């Protein structure tokens, strides 16, 4: 019998000071996830606690027992790294390098990075600065963790909202085999890509960058219209992309081995939607009352 590939799906989860990766794995398990993504500290600041190898070993064991493939787990770099701004490049380079070292210590293969915002200095200079920054990092970091440049919505002066810009960055990187791409469906929509015609988008991506470069996909619906350059995520099936186009991406034959990560908003700012969203995706049937179901589920647990 042919072996069926397990869908690699999860969400972003917490990583805390004390339990560290164990807390992340436990949260992922509670959602029925087969992978997950985490920040090694708060996404907005540089405060990082030392990695506790005891917790990491415990987390690895927990992953193994629960069918989570360590090689599909994703780390997200903090937002404050902006390699496109030359005034801040030294900080960005040193922090990115430290973050990669932490990923190595944690045994993680992929680190997602926002390419950066040129903050008025212009796209060309921004792209050149990003290349320079990544080259500096990879000259001194020799671990196995790969940097994944995320496709952006094109909010403000963000670089990387189309495949050509990402290709330009990649072409200037000396160690380009250590840099890949992370797609984000909300960002693609907001950047102007029509996800209801996804095969066309994939074709373009393959021609410009190459599908083999894609190592992670963030699965989010969008609160805004195509080409809005806004970047506000919506729950699966509740936004302008819609359930069926997202489902087609998640189960696409050409993307089947790539981890898919939900970064959709909590319901009422309080309840994580991931367990129910993952179930709905696996059922392949949209739940109009999903948000109510989530609120009910967590209220019941709070009462218990
Ligand atoms: Fe991101
Ligand atoms: Fe994302
Ligand atoms: Zn986003």
pLDDT tens sequence across 79-102 = 999 999 999 999 999 999 999 999
pLDDT in tens, 193-214: 999 999 999 999 999 999 999 9
How far, CA to CA in Å, does 54 sit from each of 20, 58, 251?
10, 6, 36
pLDDT score, position 5 = 66
Enumerate residues with CB within 5 Å of ligand 3 (an ion).
231
Ligand 1 centroid – CA 62 distance (Å): 26
pLDDT of residue 46: 83
Q: What pTM was computed for the model?
A: 0.97
For residue 1, name the pLDDT band (cuts at 50, 70, 90): very low
Q: Which ligand is nearest to the CA of 183?
A: 2
pLDDT at 267 over 90: yes
Between 3 and 7, name the one with better pLDDT.
Answer: 7
Q: How much is the mean pLDDT over the chain?
A: 96
Of 46, 15, 2, 73, nearest to 261 by C-alpha is 73
Q: How far does residue 1's CA lie from ligand 2's centre (Å)?
A: 37
How confident is the model at residue 45, as a pLDDT?
85
Q: What is the pLDDT of residues 11-57, one digit of tens each?
A: 999 999 999 999 999 999 999 999 999 999 888 888 888 999 999 99
How many beta carbons lie within 10 A of that of residue 229, not counting itself?
16
Calculate mean pLDDT across residues 103-132.
Answer: 98
Query: Per residue in 128-160, pLDDT tens?
Result: 999 999 999 999 999 999 999 999 999 999 999
Give the ligand whose atoms come closest to the C-alpha of residue 190. 3
Helices 198-208, 163-171: inter-axial angle, 10-degree rounding: 20
Q: Is the pLDDT assigned to residue 216 strictly greater than 60? A: yes
Give the model's pLDDT for residue 42.
85
Residue 226 pLDDT greater than 70, yes or no: yes
Give distance in angstroms: CA of 148 to centre of ligand 3. 15
Question: CB-based burial of residue 273 (10 Å sphere; 0-12 exposed, 13-18 middle, 19+ buried)?
Answer: buried
Residue 145 alpha carbon to ligand 1 centre in Å: 17
Of 10, 5, 3, nearest to 281 (Cα)? 10
Domains by residue range for the chain, with CATH: 2-303 (3.20.20.150)
**Separation of CA 304 and ligand 2 centre (Å):** 34
**pLDDT average, residue stretch 173-189:** 97
| Alpha helical stretches, state H, 74-177 | 89-105, 123-140, 163-171
Which residues are found with C-beta within 5 Å of the ion, ligand 2? 184, 218
What does the pLDDT average to over 230-236? 98
pLDDT at position 2 is: 41
Among the bound ligands, name the one nearest to the CA of residue 186.
Answer: 3
Neighbour-count burial for 189-220, b at 16+ CB within 10 Å, e otherwise: bbbebebeebeebbeebeeebeeebbbbbbbb
């Amino acid at each position: 019998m042919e072996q069926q590939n397990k869908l690699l799906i999860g969400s972003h989860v917490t990583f805390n000071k004390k339990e560290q990766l164990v807390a992340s794995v436990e949260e992922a398990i509670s959602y029925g996830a087969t992978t997950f993504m985490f920040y090694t500290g708060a996404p907005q600041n540089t405060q990082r606690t030392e990695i506790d190898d005891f917790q990491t070993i415990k987390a690895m064991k927990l992953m193994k027992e629960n069918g989570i493939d360590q090689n599909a787990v994703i780390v997200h770099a903090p937002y404050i790294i902006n390699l496109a701004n030359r005034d801040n490049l030294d900080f960005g380079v040193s922090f990115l390098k430290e973050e990669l070292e932490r990923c190595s210590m944690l045994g993680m293969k992929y680190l997602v990075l926002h390419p950066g915002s040129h903050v008025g200095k212009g796209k060309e200079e921004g792209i050149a600065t990003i290349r320079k920054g990544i080259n500096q990092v990879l000259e001194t970091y020799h671990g196995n963790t790969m940097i994944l440049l995320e496709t952006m919505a094109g909010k403000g002066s963000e670089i990387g909202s189309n495949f050509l810009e990402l290709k330009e960055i990649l072409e200037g990187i000396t160690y380009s085999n250590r840099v890949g791409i992370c797609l984000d469906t909300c960002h693609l929509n907001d950047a102007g890509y029509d996800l209801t015609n996804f095969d066309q988008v994939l074709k373009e991506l393959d021609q410009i960058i190459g599908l083999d470069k894609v190592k992670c996909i963030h699965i989010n619906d969008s609160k805004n219209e195509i080409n809005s350059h806004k970047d506000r995520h919506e729950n699966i099936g509740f936004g302008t992309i819609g359930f069926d186009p997202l489902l087609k991406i998640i189960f696409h034959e050409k993307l089947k081995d790539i981890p898919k990560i939900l970064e959709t908003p909590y319901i009422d700012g309080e309840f994580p939607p991931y367990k129910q969203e993952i179930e709905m995706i696996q059922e392949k049937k949209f739940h109009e009352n999903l948000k109510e179901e989530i609120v009910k589920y967590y209220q019941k647990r709070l009462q218990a």
